[in-house]
Amino acid sequence: MKKIAIIGAGISGLFFANLLEKDQSYSYKIFEKKNSLDLTDGYGIQMSANSIKILNKIGFQQMNASDVCFPKKVNFFDAKNSRKICDIDISQFNNQSNRYTTLKRSKLIEFFLKNIPSQKIFFNSDLIDIKKQAKISLQFRNKESEEFDYIVAADGVFSKTKQILFKKEGLPKYFNSIALRGKICDFENSDISLYLGPNFHFVIYPINQNKEFNFISIIRKKLIEEEMSNRDLFNDNTFIENLLNQISSKSKFNLDEKVEEIKCFPIFVSKKFQIPTLKNVFLIGDAFYSFPPSFAQGASQSIEAANDLFNDLENNSSNYYKKRILKIKQIDSRSTLNHFAFHLSNPLNIFFRDIFLRRLSKNKIFLENYLGKIYTN
């Protein structure tokens, strides 16, 4: 029986473990550097039909109906005056079984954990070294080393696995943007609302049937080196309030009153594709490649990546990295374009952008190419 080490207990790592639970050809252990998983965090995720189809293999359709939402449209608004620009019908890419879904990330993690024996998850596991011997040896801080046949690194954009393998080249780069995340109660729209402003955008969408909504804003902001190294900066109330004021002053929303449980974090993306030279070491999710968050595919691609790798192992194939790179290139280019278009500040550019949005939002050929290729693959 082949032994697999999964590094990281996030979406991609836990979903990969769920797939392994259905195949007795492998034994596995999950190593998580934190001392526990936070199941109280209320922020939301969006998942398009491509990932729901995969999740249904492990019974996702049995999720509690009150914990999931199925928005049918993305409504675009001008943040300055809340004027609606256009809408896109995302339900056209659904079928009866696989629908665009929003929910709390913690609920998805809970769902994954139900199928994983607790004794297979090892917390406080800080990876410090990887060595190729007869098999692959992993060394964790304050623990004995252990050998595995396969290593699956699912430890996020700041992947320790990647840093060990690629040194400084394995570090991500700052995207000159900061995210504000929080919760809004009793918003008036049950679909996805996307507000475009100068050098920022924010999105509001439902995360359950209890009238809770996720708020996420991306704000362009360059940081000097001192700010980047100051971890306390992103927990500083004054810093967060200044960011909120930056948005509120250019929109009709008073975010101080509407948004609760606000958290702030800088956005990092991958510098380039990096494939380990060590045989049987695989990077999945953000550990392999983290793209800008303006196409709402982070969770979906984490699930797709885990599924692609599992199929490769099952079929004794070696197409995983080739297939992932092709898909990620498509998403990365769309995310980068969205980020640019959403944050335009010149009034003339905004005028023409809105004209294009109105036309393209009803162009079936464009939507099939821009969204359909991703959502239905």
Q: What is the CATH number of the domain that holds 365?
A: 3.50.50.60
Distance (Å, whole) CA 205 – CA 90: 14
Sequence-distant contacts of 134-138: CB under 8 A, at least 24 apart: 135/3, 136/5, 136/278, 136/280, 136/281, 138/5, 138/31
Radius of gyration over alpha carbons of the chain, in Å? 21
- Cβ–Cβ under 8 Å, residues 316 and 289: no
**Domain membership flag for residue 43:** yes
What is the domain count for the chain? 1
**Domain membership flag for residue 183:** no
Q: What domain range includes position 80?
A: 2-172+270-375
**Domain membership flag for residue 144:** yes
pLDDT, one tens digit per residue, over 312-352 is 999 999 999 999 999 999 999 999 999 999 999 999 999 99
The pairing of strands 212-220 and 200-206 is antiparallel
**Domain membership flag for residue 248:** no
pLDDT, one tens digit per residue, over 238-287 is 999 999 988 989 998 777 778 899 999 999 999 999 999 999 999 999 99
Q: Provide CB contacts within 8 A for 329, sequence distance 6+.
A: none
Q: What is the phi/psi pair of residue 254, to 5°?
A: -95, 90
**Domain membership flag for residue 244:** no
How crowded is residue 116: how many other Cβ atoms within 10 Å of its Cβ? 17
Residue linked to tokens 């959403």 = 342
pLDDT of residue 68: 97
- Cβ–Cβ under 8 Å, residues 85 and 357: yes
**Domain membership flag for residue 64:** yes
**Domain membership flag for residue 123:** yes
Position 133 confidence tier, pLDDT thresholds 50, 70, 90:
confident
Structure tokens at 367: 């939507």
pLDDT of residue 230: 86
**Domain membership flag for residue 116:** yes
pLDDT, one tens digit per residue, over 61-75 is 999 999 999 999 999
Q: Global pTM? A: 0.96
Q: Provide CB contacts within 8 A for 285, sequence distance 6+.
A: 8, 10, 11, 12, 13, 154, 156, 301, 302, 305, 306
